[in-house]
């Protein structure tokens, strides 16, 4: 049985920088296992929203509820402890360690054990690490140095690192930035599959509209700090207001 209520509920969130309302009265919720896309033009306030939710920024107003409990204004570490994961800017990998060791580190951190006391015993959580590498398709590269990985493989490792903390909510601010267009859809489809299997709510932003429409269950559109639309891909595509401020003529490629 699913827990009652949304995993994340945000009400009346507001944040200004020197008189500029980066986020203004933003209200939405994310359900367990749901892929919710937050889209909008550059400067719309997407990253500011993510930074408030992860605790990097304090909102001027509004409330953030995780599983019905307020996390508004808590520091990042406390929010992370409560099950809010973040890719891919925070989970820096250790280039000189192997892929498996990176996941072991994340598992040790999740279980509040200290790596330095355990070295050189590198068997800790090895099986658990492999159990996280398999679903992201990285089990064959477990012995490789993370620093040698191709960019797309590094992204999949970072997804495994996020999963090591068993998050209930995963925040992904432009997770496919820097990836080849052909790889973006694959990473987000993988994220979608794992989120559904593990009942993780995912809030993400992504510039490639084919990817957004392909994987999002629901889409929020932000413009100058305000939510201007919310709905399914079909509803968002048909929204005249959204087309005017964001999707415009060329943004929806391929005749969608
Ligand atoms: P997005 O991620 O949608 O591109 P941001 O949240 O980064 O948008 O930015 C929203 C607005 O807030 C922009 O006008 C940006 O210049 C401003 N802004 C964001 N962060 C800061 C900051 N730390 N200091 C001042 N202004 C900021
Ligand atoms: Mg941004």
Query: What ranges do the domains of the chain cover?
Result: 1-83+171-256, 91-166
pTM of the model: 0.91
| C-alpha to C-alpha distance for 94 and 144, rounded to whole angstroms | 12
Model pLDDT, residue 248: 66
Model pLDDT, residue 115: 60
3-state secondary structure of 219: strand
- Say whether pLDDT at 221 is over 90: yes
CATH 1.10.150.130 fits 1-83+171-256, yes or no: no
Residue 247: CB atoms within 10 Å: 17
Contacts of 135 (CB under 8 A, 6+ apart): 160, 163, 194, 197
Nearest-Å Rg of the Cα atoms of the chain is: 19
Please state whether 10 falls in left (phi above 0), alpha (psi between -120 and 50) or beta. Answer: beta
Q: Which of 23, 45, 46, 205 to mutate to test the pocket of ligand 1 (most atoms within 8 A of CB)?
A: 45
Sign (positive or negative) of CA dihedral 52, 197, 149, 117: positive
Q: Which of 13, 14, 47 to mutate to test the pocket of ligand 1 (most atoms within 8 A of CB)?
A: 47
pLDDT tens string 11-68: 999 999 999 999 999 999 999 999 999 999 999 999 999 999 999 999 999 999 999 9
| C-alpha to C-alpha distance for 85 and 55, rounded to whole angstroms | 11
């Amino acid at each position: 049985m699913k827990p009652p209520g949304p995993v994340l509920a945000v009400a009346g969130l507001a944040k200004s920088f020197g008189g500029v309302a980066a986020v203004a009265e933003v209200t939405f919720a994310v359900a367990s296992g749901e892929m919710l896309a937050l889209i909008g033009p550059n400067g719309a306030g997407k990253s500011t929203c993510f930074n408030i939710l992860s605790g990097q920024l304090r909102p001027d107003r509004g409330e953030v509820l995780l599983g019905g409990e307020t996390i508004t204004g808590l520091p990042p570490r406390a929010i992370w402890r409560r099950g809010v994961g973040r890719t891919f800017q925070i989970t820096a990998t250790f280039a000189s360690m192997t892929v498996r060791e990176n996941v072991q580190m994340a598992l040790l951190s999740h279980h509040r054990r200290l790596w330095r006391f355990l070295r050189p015993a590198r068997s800790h959580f090895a099986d658990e690490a492999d159990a996280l590498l398999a679903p992201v398709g990285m089990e064959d590269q477990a012995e490789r140095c993370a620093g040698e990985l191709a960019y797309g493989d590094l992204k999949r490792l970072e997804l495994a690192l996020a999963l090591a903390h068993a998050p209930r909510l995963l925040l992904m601010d432009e997770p496919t930035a820097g990836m080849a267009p052909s790889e973006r859809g694959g990473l987000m489809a993988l994220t979608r599959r794992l989120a559904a299997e593990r009942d993780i709510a995912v809030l993400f932003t992504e510039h490639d509209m084919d990817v957004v429409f392909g994987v999002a269950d629901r889409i929020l559109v932000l413009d100058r700090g305000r939510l201007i639309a919310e709905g399914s891909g079909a509803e968002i595509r048909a929204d005249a207001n959204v087309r005017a401020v964001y999707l415009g003529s060329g943004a929806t490629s391929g005749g969608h």
